[in-house]
Amino acid sequence: MYFLPVQLPWWMALLLIVLILFSWWIGNLRWDFSTRMLAGELIWVVMGSTGFLLFSVMRLWQIELVAALILAVSWLVGYWHQEHIDTGQWPLPAIHWLGLVRLLVLFITSASLMFAVQFYSLGIFWLMLGVAVQVIFSLYLLFWRQGISTKRFWLYAFVLALISEQLVWVTGAWHKNIYFKTFLLLVVYYLYSDFVAHYLKGNLTIKVIFEYIGIAAVLLLTLFFFDMLFVISPNI
């Protein structure tokens, strides 16, 4: 896919078929809800990461490193989903590790979308649409794994999508690094999703709120500090 990008649509179609068949096999040859969710998450992980490989400017050793990371994350997703399919429950380590995977994939896929929009000279509408779809799917994974009721899911998902799209719109005019913009989006998603999760589970306390605000403030200050030192290139 990297060395023969002319055939990219066919490569992506073939990859999609492989991921669906792999999910069907992991799901014990059934196509129930759990198997469909596994297929959706694998497609999100592999397709988003592959786009990052194709559109970002990296050296060969960086490409190999990211490719190895894609394989490792895909294996981890498949392993924990099979545990869930076999037992009907999510072990606590699965919730923890797949939560980290969710944040990592959200970062990589958002950067991939921004790179792709620049590469194909597309309008910002397609970037906003892509970001909205993936943050909604990521939030649904959070609700599903933590056993949170989905009765009002679409209300929270709509607010999150709207906030994310507005952030993409505002930062689109910035002459900043794509990773800088993606990190801001990730911080907003992280704060919002965890606030909603704690609120719906009834354990959103003042202490928890200040802990998350403190974490976000430290991360943002660190990012802006390194940006001021020109460690992050302003024009990518």
- The per-residue pLDDT for 228 is 66
* Residues 32 and 75 both lie in one domain: yes
pLDDT band at 204, cuts 50/70/90? confident
How many structural domains comprise the chain?
2
Two tokens, residue 236: 């990518």
- Of 211, 218, 157, nearest to 189 (Cα)? 157
**Residue found by looking up tokens 């179609």 in the block:** 13
Residues 135-164 have a mean pLDDT of: 92
Enclosing H/E stretch for 222: helix 206-228
* Residues 126 and 236 both lie in one domain: yes
- Angstrom distance (rounded) from CA 164 to CA 181: 11
Phi, psi of 40, deg, nearest 5: -60, -45
- Whether 165 shows a pLDDT value over 50: the answer reads yes
Q: Is 69 inside any structural domain?
A: yes
Q: Is 128 inside any structural domain?
A: yes
User: Domain range holding 19?
Assistant: 1-89
* Residues 233 and 134 both lie in one domain: yes
pLDDT tens digit sequence for 22-61: 999 998 888 999 999 999 999 999 998 888 888 887 778 8
Q: Is 103 inside any structural domain?
A: no
* Residues 41 and 146 both lie in one domain: no
Two tokens, residue 221: 């200050």
Phi, psi of 147, deg, nearest 5: 70, 30
Q: Which of 43, 72, 89 is the last residue of a domain?
A: 89
* Residues 79 and 132 both lie in one domain: no
Residues 5-26 have a mean pLDDT of: 88
Q: What type of residue is 23?
A: S
Q: Is 143 inside any structural domain?
A: yes
- The per-residue pLDDT for 170 is 87
* Residues 127 and 228 both lie in one domain: yes
- Of 104, 165, 107, nearest to 131 (Cα)? 165
Two tokens, residue 194: 């965890």
**Which residue did the predictor score with more confidence, 71 or 228?**
71
3-state secondary structure 16-56: HHHHHHHHHHHCCCCCCHHHHHHHHHHHHHHHHHHHHHHHC
- Angstrom distance (rounded) from CA 124 to CA 126: 5
* Residues 130 and 234 both lie in one domain: yes
- The per-residue pLDDT for 46 is 92
Three-class DSSP category at 191: helix
User: What pTM value is reported for the model?
Assistant: 0.86
* Residues 79 and 177 both lie in one domain: no
Q: Which of 89, 112, 137 is the last residue of a domain?
A: 89
Phi, psi of 217, deg, nearest 5: -65, -45
Q: Is 30 inside any structural domain?
A: yes
pLDDT tens digit sequence for 93-103: 898 899 999 99
Asked whether the beta carbons of 180 and 230 are under 8 A apart, the reply is no
Q: Is 115 inside any structural domain?
A: no
* Residues 158 and 76 both lie in one domain: no
* Residues 129 and 233 both lie in one domain: yes
